[in-house]
């Protein structure tokens, strides 16, 4: 039963990722990415790592997506991309995928299965203190590089927008 839920959730997550890449509208791509982030969170729940699932939702689906949408709106890249007919299949597919992910998350939360076999004790899987130790020792450099990269991307978006708006005034 857990294998079936894993396969369905993995396929939904992959489907959301493919739809994100194929979408012509930047805002729609960002919304598909949110669905993808929630799918990854459900996969964490299926692995009995609720802390990682909540961090996935809070950090990625929350903070990072707000940043992405802010940059998309700041650059104005959502303008001029409206299609007359749009993609009629996109709304029903998104609704079905979202509903299935909610069902999967509910199942994973309320009916936890057998723990994933690891060399660690079950309390160490996704434990905040273990993650913090790894993050701030082993993975400190990639963590800092990622934060600087996000900051540079945001500053670059603001600079590009300022230059394009100055050109419009002339």
Is 115 within a domain? yes
CATH of the domain at 91: 1.20.120.1200
Give percent of the chain above pLDDT 70.
79
The per-residue pLDDT for range 146-169, each reduced to its tens digit, is: 888 878 887 887 777 776 666 665
Q: What is the pTM of this model?
A: 0.57
Residue 148 lies in a domain: no
Number of domains comprising the chain: 1
Instruction: Give one word for 45, left, alpha or beta, with left for phi > 0 and alpha for psi -120 to 50.
Output: alpha
* pLDDT for 140 beyond 60: yes
Q: Is residue 6 part of a domain?
A: yes
Residue 165 domain-assigned (yes or no): no
Separation of alpha carbons 12 and 18, rounded Å:
10
Higher confidence at residue 121 or residue 25?
25
In terms of residue numbers, what domain contains 114?
A: 2-120
DSSP 85: S
Mean local confidence (pLDDT), 129-139: 82
Give buried/exposed letters for 115-145 (b at 16+ CB in 10 A, else e): eeeeeeeeeebbbeeebeeeeeeeeeeeeee
Which of the residue ranges 109-113, 115-119, 145-149 would you say has the lowest mean pLDDT? 115-119
């Amino acid at each position: 039963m857990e294998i079936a839920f894993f396969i369905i959730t993995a396929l939904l997550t992959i489907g959301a990722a493919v739809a994100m890449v194929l979408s012509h509208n930047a805002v729609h791509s960002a919304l598909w990415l949110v669905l993808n982030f929630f799918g990854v969170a459900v996969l964490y729940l299926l692995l009995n790592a609720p802390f990682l699932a909540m961090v996935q939702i809070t950090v990625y689906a929350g903070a990072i997506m707000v940043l992405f949408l802010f940059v998309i709106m700041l650059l104005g890249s959502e303008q001029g991309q409206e299609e007359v007919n749009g993609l009629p299949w996109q709304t029903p597919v998104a609704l079905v995928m979202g509903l299935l992910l909610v069902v999967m998350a509910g199942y994973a939360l309320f009916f936890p299965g057998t723990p994933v076999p690891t060399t660690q004790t079950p309390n160490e899987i996704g434990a905040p203190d273990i993650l913090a130790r790894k993050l701030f020792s082993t993975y400190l450099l990639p963590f800092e590089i990622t934060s600087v990269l996000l900051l540079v991307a945001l500053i670059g978006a603001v600079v590009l927008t300022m230059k394009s708006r100055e050109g419009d005034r002339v």
